[in-house]
Chains A and B, each alone.
Chain A
Amino acid sequence: MNLRIISALVMRYLFLYARTPMRLVELIFWPLVDLVVWGNVTVFIQKNSTEQFGNFILFFLGAMILWDVLFRAQQGVAISFLEDVWTRNLLNIFVAPVRTSEYLSATFVVGILRILVTVVVVSVVSWVGYSFNIFQLHWWLIPFFLNLMVFGWALGMISTALILRWGQAAESLAWAVPFFIQPFVAVFYRVEDMPAWSQPFAWLFPATPIFEGMREVMKTGTVSWNYLWLAAGLNIIYLGLAGWLFVWVLNLTRKRGLLTKFATQ
């Protein structure tokens, strides 16, 4: 792992974002749409429900912000890869002395930067618009936040591997993959509220203990270590499997001679 190379790749993406303001709009627009929709739902329910229930529905806003952390981290990996495909630059990268681990690390860093932009904007708007101060959430949310980011990276590698395998026809997976799992990871509701048949599936994903843990922290102010350790353990497995899948697919495309076709199409 060479930090110089990783920083060069990160620099390349920073130049890209600075040169293409539309990409910044994309970072800000969708989270704002989500925020407004859920904020309005929150206000509506608060006005029409008991006080106790009104407090609970603040979970929605927290869940929405955390979901966006996962989504932006996944996008950081998948979209960074697609940027190289779209600009026909992928071949230049693959014939440069760049290790797969360095390439992926750069996309992880881009994912972090994307999250920072999104969280800052969403925090300000949610505070101004809905008096929801994200910094009043407990500091214990940070480990859950970090776990969610790591799961986003794993999903990003899985998305990228699928795109590598099936080509540009599978590009929409870059956006769709997180939403495939969303119904199963208890983002906006508890696992026990899910249909019984789907509850065992929920615990196969690191995001489920993260969102359950987040609700626990917001409700009681104390961290559930069981949720945290379960999320971390599952994340290690997912990150390892996703990394293995990416490398396996990359080697498969080399063996089948598909990499150059994909990179120059």
Chain B
Amino acid sequence: MSDAPDTREVILEARELTREFNGVKALDRFSFKLHRGEVLGLLGANGAGKTTAMNCLLGLTLPTSGELTAFGLPLQANRIHILQRLNFSSAYTALPGNLLVWQNLLVFARIYGVPNPKQKIAELLELLEISHLDKRVTGQLSAGESTRVNLCKAFLNDPELLMLDEPTASLDPDIADKVRKVVRKVQRERNIGILYTSHNMRDIEEVCDRVIFLHKGKIVCEGTPTDIVKKTSSTLEDVFIKIARDGEIVDEPIKKTTV
């Protein structure tokens, strides 16, 4: 991991973010910065605090304490303005299954005020290689097709910040590979900052520039996937398992210091 400070614009920042549920800290003084054009992986076992972090960052859950800013603006006070500039896709949400694919995308294109929505939708469907699905009923799509339609929705407003919650969950390796490549391609072309959660370490190695490991709401490890693998002499998956079971890793150099 390079020690040189990242000079790119910070588009998302959490400072000392804490979220308690019935006295239990799901997030404990969680701080990080996401820069423009960077893909940051948020990793951890189930219950580590990833989803809580994502929900706080989307304004769906209010933090108990701490500060959140996006594009330099406080999140809660500028929620609508910020949401216009970001987008979100999750394996755990869906577009209404009883509408056709193009109808769902047109509704969200209008919400985001996309100019020439039909053209934009056609471009995105082509990019994700699902142009043939535009008149299909959304609820009848396979998991891989649904994921790519959800990604179309997430790319509709040309977001500067994208939050992807386990985008390859339940996908077969071939489709997961296609999804990763498309995400990386769009991210590079448009210089998007992405916050990415996944339990698939292949995803993380291929897509993320930097990762944060969470355990019980705290950052326990941070760095580039390559650095972490190099310094622990382990695979990223082994590091994940070690943190999930023991809550820490032995190697001091990559333990969290500052972000």
Contact = CB atoms under 8 A, between A and B. Distances in A.
A89 interface: yes
Contact of B153 (A11, A16, A92): A92
Interface string B221-233: 0000000000000
Residue among B95, B103, B107 with the highest chain A CB neighbour number at 10 A: B107
A204 to B, nearest CB: 34
B93 to A, nearest CB: 4
B62 A91 contact: no
Nearest to A17: B98
A89 B138 CA distance: 12
Contacts of A98: 111
A91 B60 contact: yes
A219 interface: no
B107 A12 contact: yes
B98 A96 contact: no
B83 A83 contact: no
Given A95-B58, A254-B61, A83 B96 contact: yes
A47 interface: no
Contacts of A11: 106-107, 110
B99 A16 contact: yes
Contacts of B60: 91, 94-95, 254, 259-260, 263
Given A8-B107, A9-B107, A95-B83, A260 B95 contact: no
B80 A257 contact: no
B238 to A, nearest CB: 31
A88 B94 CA distance: 5
Interface in B86-113: 87-88, 90, 92-100, 103, 106-113
Nearest to A263: B93
Nearest to B109: A8
A15 interface: yes
Contact of A16 (B52, B94, B96): B96
B96 A87 contact: yes
Interface string B132-164: 000001000000000000000100000000000
Contacts of A254: 59-62
A243 B34 CA distance: 36
B235 interface: no
A20 interface: yes
B98 A19 contact: yes
A16 B95 CA distance: 12
Interface residues of A, number: 32
Nearest to B150: A92
Interface in B71-93: 80-81, 83-84, 87-88, 90, 92-93
A97 interface: yes
B134 to A, nearest CB: 14
Chain B at the A interface: SS class? mixed
Contacts of B111: 5, 8-9, 96-98
A253 to B, nearest CB: 9
Interface string A243-265: 00000000100110101100110
Interface in B30-71: 51-52, 55, 58-62
Given A11-B107, A95-B83, A89 B19 contact: no
A88 B96 CA distance: 7
A254 B19 CA distance: 12
A94 B58 CA distance: 9
A247 to B, nearest CB: 13
Contacts of A260: 51, 55, 60-61
Contacts of A19: 98-100, 103, 137
Interface in A7-27: 7-9, 11-12, 15-16, 19-20
A99 interface: yes
B107 A257 contact: no
B62 to A, nearest CB: 5
B96 A89 contact: yes
Contacts of A88: 92-94
Contact of A97 (B90, B109, B112): B112
Contact of A7 (B21, B55, B110): B110
A99 B62 CA distance: 17
Interface string A182-202: 000000000000000000000
A117 B48 CA distance: 50
25 contacts: A5-B111, A8-B110, A11-B107, A11-B110, A15-B103, A16-B98, A88-B92, A89-B93, A91-B60, A91-B88, A92-B93, A92-B95, A94-B60, A95-B58, A95-B59, A95-B60, A96-B108, A96-B111, A96-B112, A97-B112, A257-B19, A257-B55, A260-B55, A263-B93, A264-B92
Q: Which 3 A-B pairs have the closest CB atoms?
A: A8-B110, A87-B96, A12-B107
